[in-house]
Amino acid sequence: MAETRWTFGVEPLPESLEFASLTRTVTGLVLSLEARHESLDRLVAALRSAEAELRRLVPANPAPRVGANATAAEGRVYVDHARDIGAFNPCFPLYEIRVDGDRASGTVAFPIAYEGPPGIVHGGFLAVFFDSVIQHHNCEVGMAGKTTALTVNYRRPTPLLTELQFEVERSVAERRITSTARLIAGGVVLCDAQMHAVAGNLAQLPPVSPRRVGA
């Protein structure tokens, strides 16, 4: 039985969701350009301007305001990484997941931004994907914790721009979580993973500072 839905950190800004989606898409378009174009020059100039403006708005100290640092005068806000990280961070993949107790399943499609060999997903992003969906599953059922080991077996190349299916199963014994996951295309297993984690206690998580409105 789930203890409660696991969260640790603040919700992302609504604008960051649109930013992540656009950044992921635009990255793929830029990587697909055949020749230099003035639109890319304009984009780079706009990003340089945005960088300068945003740098003035964020804390100078990049350390997250968590634990002993939660009440510090400096430091940045920490956004919850329990689930759907790709929705606000374009460095993480997007996926759809359905949780049913100790089992979960869903779909994922990797865009061009995650390419390694031609037309194939980079293996490092597959490891990030498995880590993300397995811990999402753990957080959703209310018992999660620090990853102690993650093993990925690459069986067949994973294609880009293709809807794939995944399955996750977990078991818990003496506060140790073991999860196995598979990434599948047309009934064929492309890669699989096993993760071990130490179950944490939600009530004992360190404090996290909320956003400082008007800061």
Residue 1 lies in a domain: no
What are φ and ψ of residue 166, in 5° steps?
A: -140, 155
Rounded to 10 deg, the angle between the 38-57 and 14-31 helix axes is 150
Beta partners for 64? 76
Number of helices (H), then strands (E), in the chain: 3, 6
Residue 173 lies in a domain: yes
Q: What is the pTM (predicted TM-score) of this model?
A: 0.94
What CATH number corresponds to the domain at position 156?
Answer: 3.10.129.10
Residue 2, pLDDT score: 45
Residue 211 lies in a domain: no
Residue 26 lies in a domain: yes
**What is the residue range of 90's domain?**
14-204
Q: Which two tokens stand for residue 39?
A: 């639109």
CA distance 7 to 5: 7
Residue 120, pLDDT score: 98
Q: Which residues of the chain have pLDDT under 70?
A: 1-3, 214-215
Q: Which two tokens stand for residue 5?
A: 């839905």
Residue 4, pLDDT score: 76
Beta partners for 188? 185
CA nearest to 156, candidates 130, 194, 195, 117:
117
Residue 3 lies in a domain: no
Residue 215 lies in a domain: no
Residue 103 lies in a domain: yes
Residue 148, pLDDT score: 96
- In the chain, the number of structural domains is 1
Residue 202, pLDDT score: 86
Residue 151 lies in a domain: yes
